A and B are shown apart, each in its own frame.
Chain A
């Protein structure tokens, strides 16, 4: 791999890391267990390393953005996660921030002018 490519690789993964929380929160308006969340993200085009995602879920729960409970009725016991009130509020705020960022980047990259019209 050339030096340029590896720089690109690390920058891209940094970008992905920055958006991961938003991606995960966005899919947790409904109850999900770890593996179902991986598949859901993957089905929509986001491949996430499982060993990154699962610790993240626990961290978000510790930050009191998610609730979790064990379900014993299925083939095996599963831990389900879902947004709580604080998580839903955070998701809304974070989404707004994201929209603003996209807008600013579009302008910076010369895709749109200041009024947001496509050039």
Chain B
């Protein structure tokens, strides 16, 4: 009977702790019955036990039948998971690439250093990709557990949908492919990362002598300006992320997203106006000791407001266009 206990132990250790004792107890009883049927009253030999167990199936198989199929991320959520995972890994890779480019352009002084950074990039990229993978998977796993349990209890019939609620096929101007939102999300994340965590990287880099060995790095932005505008930028960026995630999921512009886009544009106009009126953003220290670049310096310091004004015009046009398209989309097409 030792063989039987070994068998039961192997099954038991594959079962959830809560049901283990009960299932094993039942199996011991059932296998005993099967053994009795085989021996018909004579004493069971080890061969008898082995034959009964063999017919019953391997411990892994038997345990699997009790446990049923289990998913980390079920088929229902898998498509969404796959989409988010690709975006996350792409954003991570894109962000790291841009960071590398910035590093190479600013911090690198020698060819050896550049090579070192380049070789260090591959493990960085791998670590980044795995981190993104880990976070996305963990979040989806938790959602799966929470949602799947609830949904399993809901009878199929209740999860009905009405074919009449199917959206119209979007007109060409309303169609949104995945590339646009993904690029927007990527750049927004990069902006958030750069201005929040590494504003020092936004700098003018120049060399006093020829070659790469005497690089100087002068911060381009004032800390006063950053302190005043960064919170507003962050609000705009988060709103942009939400809007483009929506566009990505829906695959089309709709009335709500058009209006949200216009509102976001209005907000940008307000922020730009404030940037013209408020504290200076460009550091006056830039190019100070470079008489050759005096013209550029003047242009940068006084022209930046004109640039903001230009952006206000462009943004206004975009906002108006958005509202027009939103209203047009509401009017039934004849």
Q: Residues of A at under 8 Å CB distance from B?
A: 33-36, 39, 49-52, 54-55, 58-59, 75-79
Contact = CB atoms under 8 A, between A and B. Distances in A.
How many interface residues does chain B have, given as a range? 10 to 19
Contact of A50 (B56, B66, B68): B56
Instruction: Say what secondary structure dominates the interface of chain A.
Output: helix
Given A49-B57, A51-B61, 18 more contacts: A34-B26, A34-B30, A34-B33, A35-B33, A35-B34, A39-B37, A50-B30, A52-B65, A54-B30, A55-B66, A55-B68, A58-B23, A59-B68, A76-B29, A76-B33, A78-B29, A79-B26, A79-B29
Contact of A51 (B26, B37, B56): B56
A54 to B, nearest CB: 6
A51 B57 contact: yes
Instruction: Say what secondary structure dominates the interface of chain B.
Output: helix
A118 B14 CA distance: 53
B27 interface: yes
Contacts, number: 43
A52 B26 CA distance: 14
Interface of B: 23, 25-27, 29-30, 32-34, 36-37, 55-57, 61-62, 65-66, 68
B37 A35 contact: yes
A79 B65 CA distance: 19
Contacts of A36: 33
Contact of A77 (B23, B25, B36, B57): B25
A92 B254 CA distance: 50
A52 B62 CA distance: 8
A50 B55 CA distance: 9
The 7 closest A-B CB pairs, nearest first, are A35-B33, A55-B65, A34-B30, A51-B57, A55-B66, A51-B62, A79-B26
A55 B33 CA distance: 17
Nearest to B37: A35
Contacts of B33: 33-36, 76, 78
B166 to A, nearest CB: 31
A51 to B, nearest CB: 5
Contacts of A75: 36
Contacts of B32: 76
Interface centre among A33, A34, A50, A59 (most CB of B within 10 A): A50
Contacts of B66: 55, 58
A33 B25 CA distance: 13
B29 A77 contact: yes
Contacts of A35: 30, 33-34, 37
A33 B37 CA distance: 14
Contacts of B37: 35, 39
